[in-house]
């Protein structure tokens, strides 16, 4: 309102989460390269910018339409994989309820070990940091990844401790090797998206391990780690009794 000549940008992982925001441009996905392209476009008329013009109906005082300039970084300006960013990008899984891009990635998309080591050492030298919350979508998507970074942690002159999102069914099925890798790296705080202990409900969203095995495995994991769990109520095949 006060500075109408200033270009405004709304950003988020999905369009629906930012479509209600009044802005000159709406950017979805991770925006390092997209924002760079936009800035060059705005400051140099010769620079190209990939964006889509779209119209969406809105409900307010009657049915109206809203115009958008949509910059889709997921496809036009992808920023994954990114080896020197402070968190790994992408998830190898494609759970039915998740739209967090990119999903179903193959191979190693993690950051470089040298970049990881230098950050850990700098944070310790400057501020004495040893305790971390990992915002990786799934820390244990591959056992090799934990072993890769665990070797770095083991070489550090201090003891680090990590907390974050883990798949309990993978830990249970992979067994002692992955448990040992977590212990060696110091991943002691685990958050499991169990989602449901009703087998048919869990299977409907891509988590097919038998519920009895999940329960038994969770009790085993609780002996090694600090365990937190989350559940989704109201999945297909779920009943009031099974939710309780």
Cα separation, 74 vs 15, in Å, equals 12
Residue 49 is predicted with a pLDDT of: 93
Which pLDDT band, with edges at 50, 70 and 90, does 80 fall under? confident
Average pLDDT value for the chain? 88
Backbone angles phi and psi of 239, in degrees to 5: -125, 170
Residue 95 is predicted with a pLDDT of: 72
Q: What percent of the chain has pLDDT over 70?
A: 88
For residues 186-210, give the mean pLDDT: 94
Residue 53 has pLDDT above 70, yes or no: yes
pTM value is: 0.64
- Among the ranges given (54-58, 82-86, 108-112), the one the predictor scored with the smallest mean pLDDT: 82-86
Residue 102 is predicted with a pLDDT of: 67
Which residues 6+ apart lie within 8 Å of 25 measured at CB?
7, 8, 9, 10, 38, 51, 69, 70, 71
Q: Quote the tokens at residue 55.
A: 């119209």
């Amino acid at each position: 309102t006060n500075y109408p000549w200033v270009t405004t940008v709304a950003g988020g992982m999905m369009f629906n989460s930012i479509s209600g925001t009044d802005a000159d441009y709406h950017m979805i996905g991770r925006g390092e390269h997209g924002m760079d392209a936009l800035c060059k476009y705005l400051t140099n008329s010769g620079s190209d910018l990939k964006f889509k013009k779209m119209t969406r109906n809105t409900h307010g005082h009657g049915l109206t339409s809203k115009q958008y300039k949509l910059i889709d970084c997921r496809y036009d300006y992808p920023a994954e994989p990114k080896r020197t960013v402070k968190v790994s990008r992408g998830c190898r899984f494609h759970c039915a309820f998740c739209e967090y891009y990119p999903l179903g990635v193959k191979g190693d998309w993690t950051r470089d070990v040298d970049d990881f080591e230098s950050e850990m050492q700098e944070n310790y030298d400057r501020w004495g940091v040893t305790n971390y919350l990992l915002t990786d979508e799934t820390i244990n998507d591959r056992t090799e990844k934990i072993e890769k970074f665990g070797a770095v942690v083991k070489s550090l002159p201090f003891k680090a401790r990590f907390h974050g999102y883990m798949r309990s069914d993978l830990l249970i099925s992979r067994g002692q090797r992955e448990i040992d890798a977590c212990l060696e790296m110091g991943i002691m705080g685990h958050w499991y998206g169990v989602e449901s202990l009703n087998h048919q409900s869990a299977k409907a969203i891509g988590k097919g391990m038998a519920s009895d095995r999940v329960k038994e495995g969770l009790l085993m994991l609780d002996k090694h780690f600090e365990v937190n769990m989350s559940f989704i109520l109201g999945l297909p095949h779920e009943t009031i009794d099974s939710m309780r």
